[in-house]
Structures are given as C-alpha cells and as structure tokens.
Amino acid sequence: MFMGEFEHSIDAKGRLIIPAKFREQLGDHFVVTRGMDGCLFGYPLSEWALLQDKLKALPLNHKDARAFVRFFYSAATECEVDKQGRINLPKPLCEHAALTKQCVIVGVANRFEIWSAERWTAFATTAEENFDDIAEKIDF
C-alpha cells in the first residue's frame, strides 16, 4: 500500500527520485501515465495488469470510454529505476503535470501520484478546507 507525502526535485533531464518506501513495493519496473486533476499516476506492474483488465472491459461503442482509454494509454510508459533511485519521465508526462522543479509524490493506496509542488499545494489546501464536507458526501 502506498501512503505518505514526499518532496523531491526533478532535474533538467526529467529524472525524479522515487521514495525508497515506494521503490520497495514497486521493484525495478512500473508504469507511469497521465492522471486526473493534473498529476501523474504510477502503478506497480501487478496493479497495472488489473487496471488493464478493467479498461479492456469498457464499452468500445461509448465515445467517452474510447477517449479516456486513448488518453490514458497514449502517454503510459514503463519506468526503470536507476541506481540512484530515479526514473526518467518523458516530456509529455512532465508537460501534463506541469513538472518543472519541485515535485510532491503522494501515496494513494494501490498507486502513487506525482504532482508539481504548486498544484499539490492548491489541491491540498482546497481538500483540507472541505475535508469534512467531502467526507459527509462519501458513503464508506
């Protein structure tokens, strides 16, 4: 399970350190793709396989399903961790998430998310202000 919040910098070559706690769960290879809310989603290969099964089950005759699957898969990349614990993020992914320097890596149960520090701060501030209201609307 991925949890916690970690701050790291992305370098000029698009390399980002993945937290050691996450690397233990991810192994040497995992998938990163466009996420929602302007961030990136990262999945262990086992979770990626489960997600693929769900995406394959989406109805091909629904325009929104086709659009989602295309957009989600088109930027997906298998990442390999180097000896310093870094991955290389392709330019389209960096652009999608507005990653330039400071990043926040957040654990979210079965995946992790990579945010620009600015976007994460804005999201977290709003979520914190509305946390009680959000919790009341969710039936869990």
Window from 24-33, 111-120, 131-140 with minimum mean pLDDT: 131-140
Instruction: Look at residue 66 and tell me whether its pLDDT is greater than 70.
Output: yes
* Structure confidence at residue 140 (pLDDT): 67
* Structure confidence at residue 137 (pLDDT): 83
**Contact (Cβ atoms closer than 8 angstroms) between residue 93 and residue 75:** yes
3-state per-residue secondary structure call for 10-43:
ECCCCEEECCHHHHHHHCCEEEEEECCCCCEEEE
Domains of the chain: 5-137 (3.40.1550.20)
pLDDT tens digits for 74-102? Answer: 999 999 999 999 999 999 999 999 999 99
Separation of alpha carbons 24 and 9, rounded Å: 20
pTM for the full model?
Answer: 0.92
